[in-house]
Amino acid sequence: MDTVSLLILIGVIVVVVAFFLILLAKQYRKVGPNEVLIISGGRKRTVTDPDGTVRKIGYRMHIGGGTLIIPFLESAQVLPLGVHTLDLECAEAITSRGIQVKAQGQAQIKIGGDEYSVRMAAEQFLGKGDQGIRDVAGKILEGHMRAALGTMTVEEVFQQRETFDDKVKKAASDDFDRMGLKVLSFSLKDLSDTSGYIEALGKPKIAEARGEAAVAEAEAERDATVRAADARKEADIAKFKAEMEIAEANRDYELKRAEYQALVNQKKANADLAYELERQKMNQQLKREEYQVRLVEKEQAIKLEEKEILRKEKELESTVKKQADARKYQMRSDAEAQAFKTEAEARARAEALRLEGDAEAETMKKKAESYADYNQAAVYEMLISIMPELARAVSEPLSKVDKIIMVDGGSGGGASRITKQVADILAQLPVVIESLSGVDLKKLLEKFPTAEGKKEKPGKGSGKS
């Protein structure tokens, strides 16, 4: 087999496969969740009804989704499961009391969702569409409305609408079950008549209602007047309260504005003060910087001065200091010589004084030894001999006075007062001598003649050696 024949064969196979695939795709049917797909043909199926009846059917059902329809053997139809709204009108219906009325109602119906209801609806409504279902269901409900109106009076229908609705639904449910339908709701919309019976029923109520309405109107006007007065009063009160609140709000606003203005002024003053403080700080900083500059200048000047001093010191060392050192050495040598000379002289004087002191001590020792041999008269004589020296020592300060000014207080005396004062001072000498030596000079003078008489023998024996 050549290549061309092989390609032709492959092409034919592809076309056949594509044809079958397209055919299968066209035979795959899908329906929505509110629809049921009725597939007729094929083998028969056995089903059991709720009453126990077993029978065979030549179709199958598929609620929602999709399924494959076998070509040439099966066909498919769609049965809607949606809700149908029926507007019902029952003209010239007779009530239990023979009153001819006209009733209007509304109902919502649909095919039941169980398999039995779907089978019943498919067997009776398949191919009729939604309108066929509505026509059949409407006629059934109108008949049951007439039947229900015939068992009730006009008053009962008006007063017991729910009872009327339940009667219609209950009566229609049996018929709907046999057709696979279900009444979801029913309600009576309107009831009227051509004889004026309903209007006559309403006249007493209307008159009563009108009277009650007049009374209610008067009461309402009264209440309205009272409420209007109350409203005006409340309005005035509200107005006054509003004015008070406005006044309070204005007061609070003014207070707040004053507080804010005070706060702004305070902040402004603080800002001005902060600016002034900052300016003072900057001035102080500038002054510190100037002082630092001056200090640096002075430090530099001091350093220059120190360098100049060092230079001058070196210059002095080279010119003057060496000469000064020579003179200082000469002076130190002279001072040391003088100190040695002075020390030698001091040692000589000290030695002389020591010798003199030794001599005086020896003399005093000898005097003491001689005094030990003296009697009391000799001691008295020695004390008397030093009194002129005491008088001279007392009057000596007067001899050094260059000038004496005498002031006479009127008591007289003049220059004789000086003599008297000197005499008074000399008169105090015995007391001074007694305090210093323990010798009572007055008693000494009183005893002096006796002492002289007793002094004869020792004087002759000892002499004044």
Same domain, 93 and 164: yes
Q: Average pLDDT for residues 152-172, to the nearest whole number?
A: 88
CA–CA gap between residue 47 and residue 24 (Å, rounded)? 29
- Burial status of residue 111 (CB atoms within 10 A of its CB: 0-12, 13-18, 19 or more): buried
Same domain, 53 and 94: no
Same domain, 141 and 101: yes
Same domain, 104 and 179: yes
What residues have CB less than 8 Å from 140, skipping those under 6 apart? 172, 175, 176
184 assigned to some structural domain? yes
430 assigned to some structural domain? yes
Contact between 96 and 146 under an 8 Å Cβ cutoff? The reply is no
For residue 159, what is the domain's CATH number? 3.30.479.30
451 assigned to some structural domain? yes
Interhelix angle 416-427/429-437, nearest 10 degrees: 20
Work out the percent of the chain whose per-residue pLDDT is above 70.
Answer: 77
State the pLDDT at residue 51.
80
Against a cut of 0.85, is the pTM above it? no
CA–CA gap between residue 5 and residue 141 (Å, rounded)? 72
Conformation bin of residue 91: beta by default, left when phi > 0, alpha when psi is -120 to 50: beta
Q: What is the 3-state secondary structure (H, E, C) of 272-318?
A: HHHHHHHHHHHHHHHHHHHHHHHHHHHHHHHHHHHHHHHHHHHHHHH
Same domain, 99 and 187: yes
Closest CA relative to residue 66, chosen from 94, 102, 29, 109: 29
Domain boundary among 78, 94, 120: 78
Question: Domain residues for 113?
Answer: 81-195
Same domain, 38 and 92: no
CA–CA gap between residue 393 and residue 294 (Å, rounded)? 72
State the pLDDT at residue 350.
73
Same domain, 131 and 70: no
State the pLDDT at residue 453.
46
CA–CA gap between residue 130 and residue 125 (Å, rounded)? 9
What residues have CB less than 8 Å from 108, skipping those under 6 apart? 83, 84, 85, 86, 183, 184, 185, 186
In the DSSP assignment, the letter for residue 194 is: S
Name residue 192's beta-bridge partners.
Answer: 102
CA–CA gap between residue 49 and residue 375 (Å, rounded)? 192
Same domain, 74 and 158: no
pLDDT in tens, 337-379: 777 777 777 777 777 777 877 777 777 677 666 655 555 556 6
241 assigned to some structural domain? no
Same domain, 51 and 91: no
Query: Which is more confidently placed, 228 or 413?
Result: 228
Number of domain units in the chain: 3
State the pLDDT at residue 219.
81
Domain boundary among 127, 161, 195: 195
Q: How far apart are the first and last CA of the chain?
A: 202
223 assigned to some structural domain? no
Please, what is the average pLDDT of the chain?
A: 77
State the pLDDT at residue 451.
41
How would residue 251 be classed by pLDDT, with cut points 50, 70 and 90?
confident
Contact between 118 and 181 under an 8 Å Cβ cutoff? The reply is no
Q: Average pLDDT for residues 109-121, to the nearest whole number?
A: 86
Rounded to the nearest 10 degrees, how much is the dihedral formed by the CA atoms of 235, 241, 244, 248?
A: -140
State the pLDDT at residue 1.
55
State the pLDDT at residue 108.
92
287 assigned to some structural domain? no
Closest CA relative to residue 397, chosen from 422, 420, 372: 422
Domain boundary among 28, 50, 78: 78
Tokens 């309107």, residue?
A: 190
Closest CA relative to residue 167, chosen from 193, 191, 141, 128: 141
How would residue 8 be classed by pLDDT, with cut points 50, 70 and 90?
confident
**Pairing state between β 100-111 and 181-193:** antiparallel
Among 37-46, 99-108, 316-325, which is the least confidently predicted range? 316-325
Q: 387-392: which pairs have CB atoms within 8 A and are 24 or more residues apart?
A: 387/429, 390/429, 390/432, 390/433, 391/426, 391/429
CA–CA gap between residue 321 and residue 327 (Å, rounded)? 9
Same domain, 54 and 129: no
271 assigned to some structural domain? no
In the DSSP assignment, the letter for residue 215 is: H
Check pLDDT > 70 for residue 436. no
How would residue 463 be classed by pLDDT, with cut points 50, 70 and 90?
very low
Same domain, 173 and 108: yes
DSSP 77-115: EEEE---EEEEEEEEEEE-TTS-EEEEEEEEEEEE-SSH
Same domain, 94 and 174: yes
Tokens 């492959």, residue?
A: 10
3-state helix, strand and coil shares in percent for the chain, rounded to the nearest 5: 70, 15, 15
